[in-house]
Amino acid sequence: MSTTTKVLTGVWIAAVTVAAFTWLPPAQGFRNPESARIVVFHVPCAVLTFIAFMANALYSWKYLRSRNPLADAKANISAELGMLFAVLATVTGSLFAMEQWGSPWNWDPRETSIVMLMLVYAAYFVLRGSVEEKSKRARLSAAYALLAFPAMVFLIWIFPRIVESLHPTNTLFSRTGLDPAYRVTLWGFFAGLVSVYVWMFRLRLRVELAEARLRERRHSELEMEPIGAQP
């Protein structure tokens, strides 16, 4: 990612943040109309959580087809980013819940489902950490990710719709769901976050590749040692 793109991303996110406080009107129908601005930051984090976990399943499927370690690394990175955005969505959601519903946690279906989702992907990291052999770890975690994917779709898209929820449904993609100013700001912030996601993904991949090079170098040095130790 070029420096210009990084600078533009930072400027864009800053501009949308300022717009959320200066340009957006307080939303009527909320307990505290000012707190509706939180939605602009909370919802994009939740949408990116879904995208990242979907990418995790796609790269896992790609790994099982190609057995390419790069696809496994990308699946792991996607799960990490999904977890980061899930935590951000939960924290910002709690702040909104505190203002709107009077308590930071209400065991609402969406709140429950994001906790379950984080547990499902925490188990993915535990699985990866518990297997030493690289190819076995990649194979097992890819299979787990493909099993976790339908659970993720159920928890995000189906479960909150079949149980009564404090969260509204079908607001993001319907014409009447959101005030136009809120829609523009929300999707503007989402666009900025997508750019940050790509930036994070590429940087994390470079870290992963550098770690792999270091491991390989150490491994080859260890193999060389007995020969070097001979008189």
* Residue 82 or 149 with smaller CB distance to another protein: 82
Q: Is 215 in the site for another protein (CB under 8 A)?
A: no
Q: Closest separation between CB of residue 181 and another protein, Å?
A: 16
| Binding residues among 142-181 for another protein as defined by CB under 8 A | none
Q: Is 204 in the site for another protein (CB under 8 A)?
A: yes
| Binding residues among 182-201 for another protein as defined by CB under 8 A | 193, 196, 199-200
| Binding residues among 4-43 for another protein as defined by CB under 8 A | 13, 17, 20-21, 32, 34-35, 37-38, 41-42
* Residue 111 or 142 with smaller CB distance to another protein: 111
In sequence order, which residues have a C-beta less than 8 Å from that of residue 66 and are 6 or more positions away? none
Q: Closest separation between CB of residue 66 and another protein, Å?
A: 26
How far is it, in rounded angstroms, from Cα 142 to Cα 35?
40
How far is it, in rounded angstroms, from Cα 40 to Cα 104?
18
Q: Closest separation between CB of residue 78 and another protein, Å?
A: 14
* Residue 76 or 92 with smaller CB distance to another protein: 92
Size of residue set near another protein by CB under 8 A:
34
Of 84, 116, 140, 181, the residue at the interface with another protein (CB under 8 A) is: 84
Q: Which residues bind another protein (CB under 8 A)?
A: 13, 17, 20-21, 32, 34-35, 37-38, 41-42, 45, 84, 87-88, 91-92, 95-96, 98-99, 193, 196, 199-200, 203-204, 206-207, 210-211, 213-214, 217
